Amino acid sequence: MKKVITYGTFDLFHEGHYKLLERAKALGDYLIVGVTTEHFDEARGKINVVDPIMERIEHVKKTGFADEIIVEDHEGQKIEDVQKYGVDIFVEGSDWEGHFDYMRAFCEVVYLERTPNISSTLKRKSRFRLVRIGIVGTGRIAPRFMSEAKYVSGVLIPCCYNPEKASGELFSKLHDVRAYSQSFEEFLDQVDAIYVASPHETHYGYAKQAILKKKHVLCEKPMTFTYKAAKELYDLAAENKVVLMEGIKAAYCLGFQQMINIAKSGRIGEIRDVEACFSRLVREDSRELNDGTYGGAFLEFGGYPLLPIFKLFGTEYDSISIDSILDKKGIDLYTKIQLRYPGGMATAKTGIGVKSEGQLVIAGTKGYILAPSPWWLTKHFDVRYEDPDIVEHYEPAFQGDGLRYEISEFINQINGTRGRTYKLTAEESIGMAKVVERFMKQRSEAKSGKHKGKAGSGKG
């Protein structure tokens, strides 16, 4: 008798789960299905699981494919189970291709292709549903989204869109999703929501089209280049009753939220200064260094250092000054933004051709918070005081590259399980667009010769 084993969370049980079990069963005579516990899911980085384990086991049982159901609750159990039950074939979905190759030392390993274009679920709940997300743009961040989405319950990615057909088709082959390159409207008809990861200048147009079709939108930064456009999108989202989120992933990481809450709690007294820097040297052939209109340090990274400033001081500042070091093409290699508030000040720095210490310092009247680079992932931070011997060290939970927390928040907002959003508000996102607009205007003036060697500075 040929024995087959497979594992999964099987949360919000859907057609894809059903077909995987059906095909796994067809590979042998006896199918063993391991269902993971909530605690093990959390330990391996999967978040947002909705159904309790007994309900998930019952869903697997009702398919009729499982001859035996076991519970997976610890690391290393897969090897133990293969040996214990005399398993011949280990099965997983193709989105885990290569991840379990180590199991080949114990049995045959088969990766089954995922079910494309899933349009319905076998079971839906009144408050929770699977959300079909289509990816717009198939560049460097799209594969990361695919990889991180695997760890968020309630997500299906059936398709992608890229007007450059070759790029879309390559992504389609690598990730088992259907690619669209001509009709954006047809693409939108296949999904409930979109993730916009296309070039900066296309964000507003794609987001607006999707919102008008009543699709939820998660959009990479910068979402727009003007205050007016950002305000328009959020107003349209409210009018069409859909979720609109800007993808600044630091806002959704657990550690960043904890750090901001500690700062606001009064632990370091009244906050007087915030200094945040994000610099990353990029390749000479990168888009950032070659797109004279939409490239540069600030448009690529500016949302990150502005985030803690707006979180702690708000979006209504007394004055702002923007200074940049430009290259011969007029692209900012390094930009420093200084904001003045009643009783406080802040500095946001970004660089692609200048490297600086990428830390975040929040200074207060009783102490300060130091988050070292990369602070935007907030894997650890310190609260420090006048006495150097008193240091409160924090190492909050962090999994993957942080993108899964952003995706999880998007799904929870769509399903209405998190209440009013506070991690990155519409006001904060619109406030960032206002700074982007000022930056673009000043850089344009600098390139036209009104300012020499810098993008300019101004007040108000």
Is pLDDT of 148 > 80? yes
pLDDT at 417: 64
Distances (CA, A) of 56 to 8, 10, 26, 51, 380: 10, 6, 22, 6, 35
- Above pLDDT 70, what percent of the chain? 94
Helix (H, G, I), strand (E, B) or coil at 406: helix
Q: Residue written as tokens 């006001």?
A: 427
Q: Residue written as tokens 């990766």?
A: 111
* Closest residue by Cα to residue 230 from 410, 425, 413, 419: 425
pLDDT tens figures, 343-377: 999 999 999 999 999 999 999 999 999 999 999 99
pLDDT at 47: 84
Cα 141 from Cα 166, distance rounded (Å): 17
* Closest residue by Cα to residue 7 from 43, 33, 44: 33
CATH code of the domain occupying 251-401+414-447: 3.30.360.10
Specify the range with the lowest mean pLDDT, choosing from 310-324, 344-358, 411-425: 411-425
How buried is 86 (Cβ within 10 angstroms: 0-12 exposed, 13-18 middle, 19+ buried)? exposed
CATH code of the domain occupying 131-247: 3.40.50.720
Helix (H, G, I), strand (E, B) or coil at 56: helix
For the chain, residues classed under CATH 3.30.360.10 are 251-401+414-447
Q: Secondary structure of the chain: what % helix, strand, coil (to 5)?
A: 35, 25, 40
pLDDT tens figures, 275-285: 999 999 999 99
For the chain, residues classed under CATH 3.40.50.620 are 3-112
pLDDT at 118: 53
* 190 touches 159 (CB < 8 A): yes
Average pLDDT value for the chain:
92
**39 compared with 351, residue with greater pLDDT:** 351
pLDDT at 453: 44
Is pLDDT of 418 > 80? no
pTM: 0.84
CATH code of the domain occupying 3-112: 3.40.50.620
* 259 touches 381 (CB < 8 A): yes
Stretch 198-209: mean pLDDT, rounded? 98
Cα 295 from Cα 297, distance rounded (Å): 7
For the chain, residues classed under CATH 3.40.50.720 are 131-247
